[in-house]
Structure 1
């Protein structure tokens, strides 16, 4: 059986990173076309990759492609991506859909996939970034040594689902969860504050609950920042593209006389005050878009191909994703609608120039 799959990419915004990922996957996939509205950029992409540009859904059948990567905004964020994914599933075409996907839509897509004997997967993207992978790997190891007592995290509303996804993986699970709004975002405070639990671990979240409607992806303060507190120390991911730092708790023993002595053997005194786990490369944003993001997508597409090859109709991660999507839905309801803002000025600042 031939396991090199024909694939089309739907959308050329974020979809351009899928196209870059597929450049490095010629053993697994053959790019069979691009589906888009027909913009000049879409035409340029089709010309660059020397594939057909499809602008009508009726043009795409099982004879054209085996897999459709739906990289168009889903219903939950006001796009047509989910309707497109359902249409492909009904045609008997396997689907990889870029996150986020509403919990109800996820269930419906899974049902359609089962009915039509095809595979459906959601790419949550961020957990496959090298830096986030490093954080999650260490979180799993640290949990075995010292239980997580508290989680603190920040993000913008744009990447709230990925935050829930990352936190659930770091905590070792997501059920049960509970969220409570402590302080909403306001005119002078862009961040709302949420308290609650994930996997029975207390969490405190600060979310920039603001949206600039004309260019929403360009007016956010940060992606993700996370800290896990344990009895033995704090594991911190300074940013989605930043460093992962382990900061052991200070333990200052005194002798029977109540004296703290530095001349005694003490394994805690010899601990480094912090360690950077495989320091992140300070790449430029251009380099991130050219290599790091496509590499994350490549990992997801490789897993999907392996599941197709193994004959697995339901990906091993799907039950977890159903829970994560439901938790995200509840958290979003607690936070409420984002406050609409005007564009604000940004400056390109380097430390060396300050």
Structure 2
């Protein structure tokens, strides 16, 4: 019989009242390898977790939650760029702040994205026209069964829209321990999205963009410390050129963004909003009243409440627009990560 003894509510941003058998903090690569091996030898499943900003616990977790808290920021400089080596346990937003304070611009569009640096390559985090892959030089990975360490170049990470090799080939038994970033000194602002498009490209400075991004996010997104959430719950769907042509003929006012190869990205929030879901509640789960992409823990929600709401939204959007949304959030079952799309299909 499993004894669940540790509350996970404070360790993930959805703040679901789930429990785990055990929680261990690893502050070095040696500790990470040792603790993982010990838990594996005890025949218990192990879940690696950063700040828990992109996970949904569907139920109690039967194994060990291993928190990656490897920190440290090293900076090297040459005539072209600043090169950063950042521990996976560093808080992403703190890193953005550090870079601006040291007058190293580039990451300002990615301000206030929740989570740790080690999670950033997994999702290829992005916001306001910028993605991590633009800056990623390499990712250092620990093979947890052997303790071997390898370095993948940015190209080897196979970054895609909210996707990378770490969601596929390196999904199991690997831990990201550090990320290498390259910030080019010949800085150019990216002002294509939202309120940023109102700024003057010739006069905008990094701090101004950072402030604008923070203001937009704070206005539209709920604070996880006040309302449990994981930020954007669904990915923005990317459809074929022919499907986009048909879609835009029927919905000419829909936001859309051409992609490499002719595909077109749609705005999931717009699709959900047009279905009238803002503020909609199902059980203890609700849709945020200011941002249709954000599902929230409206009070004592279970993981199943959140999943049920996501399922309902997905079906309604598909019924109205013939577009199927996919979750961005990772779903965690009793023994580890499960297929999120399969849960809400």
Q: TM-score, normalised by structure 2?
A: 0.29
Of Structure 1 and Structure 2, which has the larger fraction of its residues in helix? Answer: 1
Q: TM-score, normalised by structure 1?
A: 0.29
